[in-house]
Amino acid sequence: MKTIREINEKIKNGDAVVVTAEEMIKIVEDIGPEKASAEVDVVTTGTFGAMCSSGAILNFGHSDPPIKMLKIYLNGVECYGGLAAVDTYMGATQPNSDPDIDIDYGGAHVIEDLVAGKEVELVAEGYTTDCYPRKKVRTTITLEDINQAILLNPRNSYQTYNAATNSRDEKIYTYMGTLLPEFGNINYSGAGQLNPLQNDYNRETKTYNTIGIGTRIFLGGGVGYIIGEGTQHNPDNAFGTLMVKGDLKQMNKKYLRAATIPKYGSSLFVGIGVPIPVLNAEIAKCCAIRDRNIEVPIIDYGVPRRDRPVVARTNYEDLRKGEVTIEVEIEGKKVEKTIKTSSVSSYKVSREIAKELKDWILKGEFLLTERVDVLGKGSAKPMKSDVKLVGEILSKPPIVAPISITIEEASKILIKNNINHLPIVDEFGRLVGIITSWDIAKAIAQNKTSIEEIMTRNVVTTTVNEPVDVVARKMDKYNISGVPVVDKNNKVVGMVTSEDLSKLVGYTIKW
């Protein structure tokens, strides 16, 4: 049994034995956890991936005359202005206020530019008071011009993360990257056997052996600290998170990188490394976790709900092979499919972080700290919010027409029922197309003679269990005003139109 104080003395004297989490696997395999705990003093870990719940506290100092900043922009990205006069919080995922730039340059990019030593434009305004007579300020600043620049991240270093796939027949864009139609790919994230929380996790007690409040860490290329469990911390399900802070002025853009996730938004790739003191055999055993032992659920992001279905379960070792074979459901049939996998985080950089932290400790440049308290149990409860489903508002019974109908007959149905959309079905009642009153008008002008010539075949549809918000987004995305509601057999059970949705917009937010 060792203590952190004893390990620190060995570090100061140049006698400490420090290995990375990858190296520890073989040591424990060769000599067992008991001997490994006697031989090894510190195991270094590392992770590097998109950590959206990140940002920076900045203090600009007072202007002359002073200003009480309320609306604050750095390179066009809005910051939070409710912190006294000249403090602000820049969130990594905040988009640009310029609609032509939007998500292509956000808060994460401002943070990276500051760390890279670039000039950033500061624009701010507020209301005037006797002690803050200035209303507006516009200037350029660098990181050195800022008094305090504190990276303060509410949720980083997920212990495990779900893999993502997509059952829809269309490509979708998510924070897990681009997901191809019909289970065309699987994206995953996380450092697996190098992850800090994985290596410190006691699977019996569902707690962490050494990591806690006050643990000194590698953060963005500089020194940082764990200041608590992160938001949505859920150790009971091995989904722990960390809340961290560090001095932005110490950091290196190699380990703090901005990214724009296509059609989703900006994020900040953060490098985190945590040293784990090997105080006993149990800790040594935990530090020998392998990718193959870390389960990763594959979630269907094609279902736009909070509780998405688990398609299959795999592990990091199989995911890193580049493809996995799982059973999926396509068009109502269970089929075995081999699917390409790719990581949206960097195992290579995670490994470099573990190695760099190891070098710091071996050189005596980094000492370990005793935690002042353990990480809490946290909470990952869902939000209490109402959801309105399509089944609650669809027009019933459905008004449909057979594919054999004439254009004239179709126009009479539209007029008689005072509708603008007419789903077209085959002899089994399955949706094959849709026409609108505009299609009828064009058909007459262009001398079309059959429904098949004018109907839209690739119909955007919905189901009774889909949220109304999702349908509204579909209408906006595809610039349409009506969506047929179908069942699992593609039979039309109703219709939702923009008029139906407009009836729901009858509330206002009161502050």
pLDDT tier, 505 (very low <50, low <70, confident <90, very high otherwise): low
Q: For 103-139, what is each residue's pLDDT tens digit? A: 999 999 999 999 999 999 999 999 999 999 999 999 9
Catalytic residue among 79, 131, 286, 287: 131
Mean pLDDT in residue range 474-502: 91
Beta strands in 221-301 (DSSP E): 222-229, 242-247, 256-261, 265-273, 275-277, 295-300
Dig out the tokens for 365 from the structure.
Answer: 């440049």
Of the listed ranges 39-53, 197-211, 414-428, the least confidently predicted one is 414-428
Q: Can you identify the CATH homologous superfamily of domain 390-508?
A: CBS-domain (3.10.580.10)
Dig out the tokens for 18 from the structure.
Answer: 């420090």
Mean pLDDT in residue range 349-378: 97
Among 321, 357, 46, residue whose Cα is nearest residue 190: 46
Residue matched to tokens 């980083």: 156
Q: For 278-312, what is each residue's pLDDT tens digit? A: 999 999 999 999 999 999 999 999 999 999 999 99
DSSP code, position 327: E
Among 193, 194, 189, 247, residue whose Cα is nearest residue 222: 247
What does the domain layout of the chain look like in residue ranges? 4-52+154-289+344-374, 61-146, 390-508
Whether residue 131 lies in the annotated active site:
yes
Residue 113 and residue 140 in contact, taking contact as beta carbons nearer than 8 Å: no
Beta strands in 65-215 (DSSP E): 71-74, 77-83, 87-91, 120-125, 136-141, 148-156, 163-165, 172-174, 177-179, 186-188, 201-202, 207-208, 212-213
Residue 80 and residue 107 in contact, taking contact as beta carbons nearer than 8 Å: no
- The model carries a pTM of 0.89
Predicted confidence at residue 133, as pLDDT, reads 97
Predicted confidence at residue 25, as pLDDT, reads 98
Cα(111)–Cα(108) distance, integer angstroms: 5
Dig out the tokens for 310 from the structure.
Answer: 């688990």
- How big is the chain, counted in residues? 511
Given a cut of 50, whether residue 511 has pLDDT beyond it is: no
Of the listed ranges 223-232, 379-388, 421-430, the least confidently predicted one is 379-388
Beta-carbon count within 10 A of 106 CB: 28
